[in-house]
Amino acid sequence: MEAEVVVNFDDIADAFIRANMSGSPAELHGLLCGRVSGGEHLSEDDLVSTVAEFLDAPLERVEDFGDMLPELYQFTYGQICSSGFEFVPLLPDDDFSLNERLASLGEWCQGFLFGLGNSGLSVETELTGDIADALGDLASISHVSAIDDDNEEEDDEVSYTELVEYVRVAVLLIYAELNATEDNSSRTIH
């Protein structure tokens, strides 16, 4: 029996450093979540080329991520496709300032929207009102701005936690709706 691989934000950040790559660990995870939510299953070669294109980096540089990239993809795929609602966006922990965590949440949403938009959904794919609303909300969250550090309050932490939970539920809804539709009708993938 294969042990389940668990990946966290710090693992991704460390891989960026080891590969001497710039980019956002949160945005990379968002990208992969968007691709999975759109019904795409990437081979390891496709994964490397997708990430290289996204990061605007040569394939060889992305290969420097080593095992982290396929492990992250399998972890992401397993969480989103799980019937146990295990999915959580990979974001910095509470050791980071609220502004850094907010910025990462915005980057995560940007990556998700980009990934979903490039997942092979056709223009004929019908989005229910719930999905359209969730996508609009994720687009709004992707533009989140910093708060004044001097006025950071406990309410801000609660609001951040609620925002992350909203993103988590929205992604699970989007995945469930798009993939239920996929089972009932064929999709055109370009």
Q: What mean pLDDT is reported for the chain?
A: 86
Handedness of CA 61, 120, 89, 156 (dihedral sign): positive
Ramachandran region of residue 56, left (φ > 0), alpha (ψ -120 to 50) or beta?
A: left
Q: Tens digit of pLDDT for each residue in 112-171? A: 999 999 987 766 667 778 888 999 999 999 998 777 665 557 788 899 999 999 999 999
CATH class, 9-184 region: mainly alpha
Please state the domain extents for the chain: 9-184
pTM: 0.88
Q: Tens digit of pLDDT for each residue in 30-73? A: 999 999 999 899 999 999 999 999 999 998 889 889 899 999 99
Contact indicator for 69, 62 with CB cutoff of 8 Å? yes
pLDDT at 189 over 60: no
Q: Provide the b/e sequence for 17-35 (b: ≥16 CB within 10 Å).
A: eebebebbbbbbbbbbbbb
